[in-house]
A and B are shown apart, each in its own frame.
Chain A
């Protein structure tokens, strides 16, 4: 076998082995790659920065699944830290059937961490006052449209079974007029439906945290201003982590930032493999033409 045939027929298991090694290596040989912040992440961060404290809520729709946790969960954590650090109340909800457990975990993790650091009663976060998780609802379209009239009408009870009207935060959050922005963390088409229904009818500002696969489809929504910002994939999450650390809202970077080191190395490997494959293909075709 000629050299160019060999490089275009590398056993896929060898490629998997190299991929695994290249993913693991950065966890044990730490290095720092400069993180440039993409404009859409900065835009979302700036929007949250512009919301006055103790005023309107940030609605976070947790619609990701366990499969896409590495991308969307760090986004949720970073976003929650940002909101709580600025005393912006958070209203969580879900429409994806697999999401409620992950939403509760994200909220619990952040609230426990911040309450552990809190020195006074006022610094602490309280369920019902600073944040509420409404839980899951079936019938997405009807639900998001009805929330424009009354959130409590769609979610009479929260995830934990409390009557929604009894929670202090919900007494001042009646409908979308009391929502500064709805940020959809999703691994499926929910963000475009948020644009389609609540934004078209009620003018709700929409932000998004998407898996990288979905990101190219959603860039046009940024350009038209239908999205007020967007985090795309693990990189978007890492950028948001970077921004909240830079502003002093968090002490250390999260999981996405450490994962991005592996991501960068693996991208180099994939670029090399693509170049090798193309060289092999080019020479093989040239050989075939000559013979």
Chain B
């Protein structure tokens, strides 16, 4: 069993959080509130030390007055707390939206639309390996059927009906895969905590 007080604190807090699985209780509440407090403290100190100090206050202290512009823009966010000058908040928001849209719209088209569309195009090269070729066809059918399912401008009758039905099937398979992976992820977290309790704390496993 560990002699390290930090391991003990970690282990006891883990057990306090797990106690919620039985029912809500003061130990769980204590651990939850402690976590929220510690996390907030960590974030504030971290941002102050690693974002505000090196990126704003140190250059300003060194006489680099151009940094007054981001300082001013940042301070304008707080204008919303004063109704008379609340409109000032639109300036930094407008700046962020303009910058963000300009930088992300072309990149989104390139990475998430054009490249993904390319991935559905079947070429003779797709069949260089027969199994890969079959998968390429399935992907194409899946994309078309799913898009048809989300096409609401026309009633799903005639040919659209079976195609959209097939689309639902692809969507359901996607949901199933997501659920399976989610179970795996959650169980992994439990395994991680059990490994910590049995290993560093109790010393029962390596």
Contact = CB atoms under 8 A, between A and B. Distances in A.
A267 interface: yes
B181 A70 contact: no
Nearest to B50: A136
Given A196-B111, A234-B184, A255 B194 contact: no
A215 B22 contact: no
A97 B50 CA distance: 10
Interface in B103-127: 103-104, 106-108, 110-112, 115-116, 118-119
Interface stretch (A1-9, A17-25, A43-51, A79-87): A17-25
A262 interface: yes
Contact of A224 (B43, B106, B118): B118
Contacts of A212: 181-182, 184-185, 188
Interface stretch (A126-134, A172-180, A197-205, A241-249): A197-205
Binding site secondary structure of chain A: helix
Interface in B39-93: 42-43, 46-47, 50-51, 55
B118 A138 contact: no
B184 A263 contact: yes
Interface in B149-206: 174, 177-178, 181-185, 187-195, 198, 204-205
- Chain A interface size, as a band, is 35 or more
Nearest to A19: B190
Contact of A97 (B43, B118, B191): B43
Interface residues of B, number: 42
A213 B187 CA distance: 11
Nearest to A234: B188
Contacts of A69: 192
B82 to A, nearest CB: 27
Contacts of B185: 71, 211-213, 233
A138 B188 contact: no
Interface string A264-276: 0011001000000
19 contacts: A13-B22, A23-B194, A24-B194, A27-B195, A27-B205, A70-B188, A139-B55, A192-B111, A195-B111, A199-B111, A200-B110, A212-B181, A212-B184, A216-B174, A224-B115, A224-B118, A226-B111, A226-B115, A233-B185
Interface of A: 13, 16, 19-20, 23-24, 27-28, 67-71, 97-98, 135-136, 138-139, 141, 145, 192, 195-197, 199-201, 211-213, 215-216, 220, 223-226, 232-235, 255, 258-259, 262-263, 266-267, 270
Interface of B: 21-22, 42-43, 46-47, 50-51, 55, 103-104, 106-108, 110-112, 115-116, 118-119, 139, 174, 177-178, 181-185, 187-195, 198, 204-205
